[in-house]
A and B are shown apart, each in its own frame.
Chain A
């Protein structure tokens, strides 16, 4: 089993969208997948047209079993939803023993091929729990002037965690809201490539379809499977970027 955390202390960079789209993509490839909402905003449930609910709270504070609190979305996809009560989870964790590995302990025993953690844009105990549980951290980032700083912040937190005796985890940087015609995107993309080399995944194009999708309570796979955010840019016969290509990169991580 591989656990992925989608992390960036900044909001609105595409963490939730990416986690939802890739989780549904994995499930469609017959990978048994759990999607976990670690954000008290509880947006994951809305992405599937469901109401928010205190799944994480019931799991950690009420000790209910994962099988009972996870919601079946489709044949290979379960959702552990969240809502405002997730705030209480943070308080509970803060006063527990072994508080940094609570989530890791629960998830490592779960029966899934892949677990995707949608993280809140904050640096608190739950965030640390998510990073510690993860085998692989995906850092979605907008290619703007502050992109590099945001990425470095997460990498610093990860390095601190590693120093505290936790095993090394891999990471990838995923440019989102990509507009290949603007000079700003170009310069930032170039900078990210120079700084992070092979850690840089192909980008997700900016696409108005993405915002519409949430309103319909569907994922891009159902609502708009051939949009540019899914297929990437056409370049002769090949496609560059887009969630389908990123899904292939993720499968390499899972199978590797």
Chain B
């Protein structure tokens, strides 16, 4: 409740507003009974550990769509399908069954030396759509 007061204030520096609402939340929590406080603490820890599992990559839209459809068909979370796919890829890569060489092209970016360029038929949905 106290939190809202500062959300409405549009004229605060954004970092000040974020810090204030965090501190307000903590202060409000410190007034709660111990059991309640511990529950909130556990919840926060859960959210925090979730955050560490999260990753952001760019994927071709077709591939992303394919994963979404598969997830719905099989009724399995997309994250788990992607985890399995990546884990198998890492196994293949580490055992030498996958050769990146055939996809590699020199990159001109200062950050990377190589780009992987994929043949059209590798990402299947693209064909279906196009």
Contact = CB atoms under 8 A, between A and B. Distances in A.
A193 B20 contact: yes
Interface size class of B (residues with CB under 8 A): 10 to 19
B104 to A, nearest CB: 32
B47 to A, nearest CB: 9
A203 B16 CA distance: 8
Contacts of A236: 51
B13 interface: yes
B4 interface: no
A198 B11 CA distance: 5
Contact of B19 (A181, A197, A198, A233): A233
A162 interface: no
A74 to B, nearest CB: 26
Given A183-B27, A197-B11, A198-B11, A235 B16 contact: no
Nearest to B22: A235
A186 B16 CA distance: 12
Contacts of B20: 189-190, 193
A235 B9 CA distance: 21
B12 A202 contact: no
**Residue of B9, B13, B22 most packed against chain A (CB within 10 A):** B13
A241 interface: yes
A240 B19 contact: yes
B22 A202 contact: no
A249 interface: yes
A186 B23 contact: yes
Q: Counting chain A CB atoms within 10 Å of each CB, which of B6, B13, B18, B19 scores highest?
A: B19
Contact of B15 (A181, A186, A197, A202): A202
A193 B23 contact: no
Contacts of A181: 26
A180 B19 contact: yes
A201 interface: yes
Interface string A232-249: 110110101100010001
Nearest to B17: A193
Contact of A193 (B12, B22, B26): B12
A232 B18 CA distance: 13
Interface string A188-200: 0110010001101
Nearest to A178: B19
Nearest to B23: A186
Nearest to B30: A183
A203 B13 contact: no
A240 B23 CA distance: 12
A245 B19 CA distance: 13
Closest A-B pairs by Cβ, 8 of them: A202-B15, A197-B11, A198-B11, A240-B19, A186-B23, A240-B15, A200-B16, A202-B16
25 contacts: A183-B27, A186-B24, A186-B27, A189-B19, A189-B23, A190-B23, A193-B6, A193-B9, A193-B12, A197-B12, A200-B13, A201-B16, A202-B16, A203-B19, A233-B19, A235-B22, A236-B51, A238-B18, A240-B18, A240-B19, A240-B22, A241-B15, A241-B19, A245-B15, A249-B13
Given A180-B23, A235-B18, A245-B15, 11 more contacts: A186-B24, A190-B23, A193-B6, A193-B16, A200-B12, A200-B16, A202-B19, A235-B22, A240-B18, A241-B15, A241-B19
Interface of B: 6, 9, 11-13, 15-16, 18-20, 22-24, 26-27, 51
